[in-house]
Every structure is written in structure tokens, then in C-alpha cells.
């Protein structure tokens, strides 16, 4: 378990005290009356300052609630063109949150259970982000733009541990996440099944973003956008988290990231592999194509622009725009909320050391291929491989109604009712 030093504890405590005195809590993004309208990020909150005068973003900002609350990456079709849920849909989400909290039983004399709850209901009641229909805000329909023809060819030819009908014969059949190298970027900035901690540290001219799962980003902060862009690495130099350079625009930290490890997973040379910009377990509503199977390629011109804005003492709005014109037909943008939680503990993510999963998969797959060759088992195809299920949604947004197959269909969205009446 990672433990805070006394200096860090005192610094965080002092910062929290200063913020509590300087400003009352604020809600990051009020839901407008027009549910198809997404207001700009508020910039009127004045955060505490570091000793050298920069806005103080230090602290622990886990995004676990986004995973638990099932606010999906892409917008479910039920919501149409709305950025926000209505009251009835929010109530369904709230009931699901209460059910989630209720799963935490009280500890007893045998040590079973955990006192208290996960606090998901409280989060739903204290943030308007819980009323958003998706993390993706552009394109306005809440759906990822299509891949280019070239990008789709590489995606379909891709190799990873998630592709239906693909045998495991060597490490080149696994992606960077399977091998405990990287979830990829910007995939690492989105919720996962677990280990969703984010911790920010600052020193003069540097912001460090520590991710609980497989990654730390060191962002050098420059005096201007022009200086930051001029400091870009040479094209031949790449890193899993890319080359991140930042600058301040008022109280907003802007980060441009280029030089992300490029390549595709169609090659069998793992040294020429990229990591998918959206990891398989990034929340999304699911398609039969992209972004399943961790095989979306990344070109040398891929880049992101992030904007981190404190909208209250305990909230940061994180916006990220991803562009890769060789792979995606258009850029896409997400907007999510980070919530401060200084009680959130980071634990060591010991994935690579003793990672016997690839070896075991290879051994089992080779044995299966031998049985198939001997006529003792049917060949594995994309149609009969249970990995085909990974093209379907991992998550279900309770705001849309019962999960398909588990109850009556959800009521039509308001605009659908209007169309029927017409």
C-alpha cells in the first residue's frame, strides 16, 4: 500500500483548510432546462494558490464513481440528442446507486462485511455530473466518429487477447494491457473496472499525474502555449503516455500530448505495437466494431488536448479532445468530473511481476489446437468463440430502464413520445 509522507499530509490538510475558508462548495455543472444544451465549463471559481502562485490542483481525485454509477462513455440510444437525463431517468439511476450502497453489509464479529457504504448515493445527490447522459460530448450525438478506411482495415486485422477466433501462440497475440505494459493513452484517463485513483502533485513548472493503474505522467508547465508547443519532442521519440506539455489559461491547466507510441496490432512484432486509445474496458455502450478488442491503431499524428478546471474546492472538470486524422474521421471530445477524496488509498498495482497469465493462455491454447488437429474438438471461430461477447456493452445505464432481457422495455424518451403523438 502506498502511504503518504507527513509532509504531504500536512500540505494537503493546509490546502483543504485554505480552500474551505476562501470559497463555499460549488456545483461543477448545473443541469439546464434544455436537456440538449451543454453549457460551457464554469471558470468563475478561484482556487487556492501554491507558494509560487499557480492554481493548486494537488490532491487525490478518483474517478471510481463514474464506473460505479454506470455513466457510460458513449451515449445510449435511449437518450437521443440529450446531454442530460430527465428526472425520471435520474431517479432510476439513484435507486440503482442505493442498491449498490446496500450491498455493503455491516462488519460483524467474524470480520465479514465492511462498515458503512460506498457512498455512491451521496455522490449522485451532490454532483450534477450524475445527470449527464455520457462522458462523450462531441460529436454532439454522443457517439465516437467512424474510423477511416485505413484505420478500419488495421482494426479488423488487429491481434490481441480479446479477438474472437484468435489462438494464443506467443506474446505477439497479446496487447500492451494484457502484458501489463500500459492501458494506453488517452485510455488511462478514463474509468476502469477498478484502480481508478488519480493523484496530482505540483512543483514549480511541473504537474505530476499519478494514475493508480499502469502510468505516471510528468507534465512540464511552460509560460505560454507557444513555448509548450515549441518544446515538442522529435517525431522519432515516443512514450506510452506521450510527451505532455502544459500551460495555464487563467485558472485552467491546458495539456497538449503528442508523441504517443504509434503503430497497430496487425503486426506480429510487439515492438511496433501501439496501445488502443480506448481500452477494452473503458466504459462504452458497445458496437460490433470499434472500439472492441483493443485493436484500434494509433498513427504518428495522434494527439490530445486536455483542460483541467477547478469548479469548486472538491471538483475538477477534465476535458479531453483526441484527434488522429489518419485513423478517425473526426476528432472526439469527452468531459468528465473528478471529485476530491483524500481518504482514497492507492495500493501497489503489481501486475508485471510474476505475470503468468500470458504463459498459461499460451499453454492452454496450444493444447486446444492439438485437440482440434486430432479431430477431438471443433475449430474455434469468431462465431463460436465466447470472446465475441466483448463487442457488446460491458455496462448498462440504469437510467435507461431495466437491462434488456431483465424486465419490461424502458419507456420512450420524451422526444420519441412527441414523434408518436404527431
Enumerate the domain spans of the chain. Answer: 6-67+138-352+392-400
Place 92 in a pLDDT band, splitting at 50, 70 and 90: very high
Report phi then psi at 243, rounded to 5.
-105, 105
Highest-scoring range by mean pLDDT, 28-32, 124-128, 161-165, 202-206: 202-206
Phi, psi of 103 (to 5 degrees): -75, -10
pLDDT of residue 207: 98
50 pLDDT higher than 90: yes
Confidence of residue 5 (pLDDT cuts 50, 70, 90): very low
Q: What is the pLDDT of residue 26?
A: 41
CA distance 420 to 364: 54
Q: What's the confidence (pLDDT) of residue 391?
A: 78
Q: Are 12 and 61 in contact (CB under 8 A)?
A: no
Cβ-in-10-Å burial (0-12, 13-18, 19+) of 400 comes to buried
Residue 107 — very low, low, confident or very high, per pLDDT cuts 50/70/90? low
Greater model confidence, 353 or 293 = 293
pLDDT above 60: residue 418: no
pLDDT of residue 403: 80
pLDDT computed for residue 2 by the predictor = 34
Strands 215-221 and 206-211: antiparallel
pLDDT at 57 over 90: yes
Please give the pLDDT value at position 123.
92
Work out the average pLDDT over 297-315: 97
The dihedrals phi and psi of 82, each to the nearest 5 degrees, come to -90, 135
Taking a C-beta distance cutoff of 8 angstroms, is the pair 298, 275 a contact? yes
pLDDT at 404 over 50: yes
The pLDDT of residue 411 is: 62
Runs of H (alpha helix) within 103-253: 120-126, 149-156, 225-230
Amino acid at each position: 500500500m502506498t502511504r503518504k509522507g507527513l509532509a504531504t499530509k500536512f500540505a494537503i490538510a493546509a490546502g483543504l483548510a485554505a480552500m474551505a475558508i476562501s470559497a463555499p462548495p460549488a456545483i461543477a455543472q448545473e443541469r439546464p432546462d434544455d436537456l440538449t444544451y451543454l453549457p460551457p465549463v464554469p471558470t468563475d471559481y478561484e482556487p487556492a494558490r501554491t507558494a509560487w502562485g499557480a492554481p493548486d490542483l494537488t490532491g487525490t481525485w478518483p474517478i471510481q464513481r463514474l464506473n460505479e454509477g454506470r455513466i457510460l462513455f458513449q451515449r445510449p440510444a435511449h437518450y437521443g440528442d440529450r446531454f442530460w437525463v430527465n428526472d425520471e431517468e435520474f431517479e432510476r439511476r439513484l435507486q440503482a446507486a442505493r442498491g449498490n450502497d446496500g450491498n455493503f453489509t455491516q462488519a460483524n464479529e467474524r470480520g465479514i462485511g465492511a462498515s458503512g457504504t460506498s457512498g455512491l448515493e451521496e455522490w449522485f445527490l451532490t454532483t450534477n455530473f450524475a445527470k449527464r447522459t455520457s462522458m462523450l460530448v462531441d460529436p454532439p450525438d454522443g457517439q465516437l466518429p467512424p474510423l477511416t478506411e485505413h484505420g478500419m482495415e488495421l482494426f479488423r486485422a488487429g491481434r490481441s487477447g480479446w479477438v474472437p477466433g484468435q489462438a494464443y501462440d506467443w506474446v505477439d497475440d497479446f496487447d500492451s494491457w494484457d502484458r501489463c505494459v500500459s492501458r494506453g493513452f488517452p485510455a488511462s484517463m478514463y474509468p476502469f473496472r477498478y484502480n481508478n485513483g488519480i493523484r496530482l502533485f505540483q512543483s514549480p513548472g511541473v504537474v505530476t499525474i499519478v494514475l493508480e493503474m499502469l502510468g505516471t505522467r510528468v507534465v512540464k508547465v511552460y509560460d505560454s502555449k507557444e513555448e509548450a508547443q515549441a518544446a515538442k519532442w522529435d517525431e522519432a521519440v515516443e512514450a506510452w503516455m506521450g510527451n505532455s506539455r502544459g500551460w495555464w489559461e487563467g485558472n485552467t491547466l491546458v495539456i497538449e500530448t503528442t508523441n504517443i507510441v504509434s503503430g497497430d496490432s496487425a503486426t506480429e512484432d510487439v515492438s511496433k505495437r501501439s496501445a488502443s486509445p480506448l481500452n477494452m474496458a473503458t466504459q462504452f455502450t458497445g458496437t460490433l466494431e470499434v472500439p472492441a478488442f483493443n485493436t484500434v491503431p494509433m498513427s504518428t499524428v495522434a494527439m490530445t488536448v486536455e483542460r483541467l478546471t477547478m469548479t469548486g474546492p472538491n471538483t475538477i472538470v477534465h476535458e479531453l479532445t483526441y484527434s488522429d486524422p489518419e485513423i478517425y474521421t473526426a476528432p472526439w471530445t469527452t468531459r468528465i468530473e473528478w471529485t476530491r477524496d483524500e481518504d482514497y488509498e492507492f495500493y501497489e498495482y503489481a501486475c508485471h511481476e510474476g505475470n503468468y497469465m500470458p504463459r498459461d493462455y499460451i499453454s492452454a491454447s496450444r493444447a486446444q489446437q492439438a485437440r482440434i488437429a486430432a479431430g477431438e474438438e471443433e475449430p474455434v471461430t469468431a462465431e463460436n468463440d465466447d470472446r465475441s461477447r466483448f463487442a457488446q456493452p460491458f455496462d448498462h445505464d440504469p437510467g435507461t430502464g431495466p437491462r434488456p432481457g431483465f424486465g419490461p422495455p424502458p419507456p420512450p424518451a420524451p422526444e420519441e413520445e412527441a414523434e408518436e403523438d404527431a
